[in-house]
Chain A
Amino acid sequence: MMRHISSIVHVLSCILLLQFPASCGNQTSDSEIFNGEIVNIDDKDVMEKEVEFREMELKGVNYGFLSICDTLAIYMNPQLPSHWYQVFNLKSREEAGDFCMKGNGHGEFTPVVPVFNFYREANDMKTLVFEPNKERASIWNITKSLSDGSTVVERNVRMPWMKENRGACYNEFFIKDSNTAYAKVQSIPINEHEATLPYYQIRDLKSGEKISDIHIFKRGIINKSTRTIPEVILNSNDVMKPDGSKIVQAMIKVPQLNIIDTESKHVVAFRLDYGVSLSDLETTKVIKSYFYRICADDDYIYTVYYGKEPWEGNEPPVINWIYVFDWNGRLISKITTKHSISEMGVDNLNKILYTTSHTDEKLYYIKTAELLGAPSSGSASK
Chain B
Amino acid sequence: MKKKNLSAAVVVAALFTGYGAYDAQRSLGMDDTLLANVEALANNTGESVETEICYVQQSGSPQMSSKKFCDSKTDDTHIYSCPTSESFGGYSELQKDRCIK
Chain A residues packing against B (C-beta within 8 Å): 65, 76, 78, 110-114, 132-133, 169, 171, 186, 192, 227-229, 232, 235, 237, 252, 289, 291-293, 306, 310, 312, 314-316, 319, 342, 358
Chain B residues packing against A (C-beta within 8 Å): 23, 26, 58-66, 85-89, 93-94, 96
A294 to chain B, nearest CB (A): 10
- Taken together as a complex, chains A and B put the C-alpha atoms of A315 and B58 apart, in Å, by 8
Given A111-B88, A113-B66, 6 further pairs, Cβ under 8 A: A65-B88, A132-B86, A169-B86, A171-B66, A227-B26, A292-B62
- Taken together as a complex, chains A and B put the C-alpha atoms of A113 and B85 apart, in Å, by 13
Q: Which of B64, B65, B94 contacts A312 (CB 8 A)?
A: B94
- Given A78-B87, A133-B86, A192-B23, the answer on whether A228 and B93 have CB atoms closer than 8 Å is yes
A316 touches B65 (CB 8 A): no
- Taken together as a complex, chains A and B put the C-alpha atoms of A317 and B63 apart, in Å, by 15
Question: What residues on A are CB-neighbors of B85 within 8 Å?
Answer: 110-111, 132-133
> Between A and B, how many residue pairs show CB distances below 8 Å?
68
- Given A171-B66, A227-B26, A228-B93, the answer on whether A342 and B60 have CB atoms closer than 8 Å is yes
Question: What residues on A are CB-neighbors of B23 within 8 Å?
Answer: 192
B41 to chain A, nearest CB (A): 26
Nearest B-chain residue to A319, judged by Cβ: B60
A316 touches B93 (CB 8 A): no
Subset of 28 A-B contacts with CB under 8 Å: A78-B88, A78-B89, A111-B88, A113-B88, A114-B88, A132-B86, A133-B86, A171-B64, A171-B88, A186-B65, A186-B66, A227-B94, A229-B94, A229-B96, A232-B63, A235-B62, A235-B63, A237-B64, A252-B62, A289-B93, A312-B94, A316-B58, A316-B61, A319-B60, A342-B59, A342-B60, A358-B59, A358-B60
Question: What residues on A are CB-neighbors of B64 within 8 Å?
Answer: 65, 171, 237
The 4 A-B pairs with the shortest beta carbon distances in the complex, nearest first, are A316-B60, A171-B65, A232-B93, A292-B62
A293 touches B88 (CB 8 A): no
A117 to chain B, nearest CB (A): 16
Most chain A beta-carbon contacts within 10 A, residue among B60, B64, B89, B96: B60
A314 touches B88 (CB 8 A): no
Nearest A-chain residue to B61, judged by Cβ: A316
- Taken together as a complex, chains A and B put the C-alpha atoms of A274 and B69 apart, in Å, by 34
- Given A132-B66, A316-B61, the answer on whether A310 and B94 have CB atoms closer than 8 Å is yes
Question: What residues on A are CB-neighbors of B65 within 8 Å?
Answer: 169, 171, 186
- Taken together as a complex, chains A and B put the C-alpha atoms of A186 and B67 apart, in Å, by 11
- Taken together as a complex, chains A and B put the C-alpha atoms of A235 and B65 apart, in Å, by 10
- Taken together as a complex, chains A and B put the C-alpha atoms of A306 and B93 apart, in Å, by 15
A314 touches B62 (CB 8 A): no
B89 touches A289 (CB 8 A): no
Question: What residues on B are CB-neighbors of A358 within 8 Å?
Answer: 59-60
Question: What residues on B are CB-neighbors of A342 within 8 Å?
Answer: 59-60
Question: What residues on B are CB-neighbors of A192 within 8 Å?
Answer: 23
Question: What residues on A are CB-neighbors of B62 within 8 Å?
Answer: 235, 237, 252, 289, 291-293, 306
Nearest A-chain residue to B88, judged by Cβ: A113
Question: What residues on A are CB-neighbors of B66 within 8 Å?
Answer: 111, 113, 132, 169, 171, 186
Question: What residues on A are CB-neighbors of B59 within 8 Å?
Answer: 314, 316, 342, 358
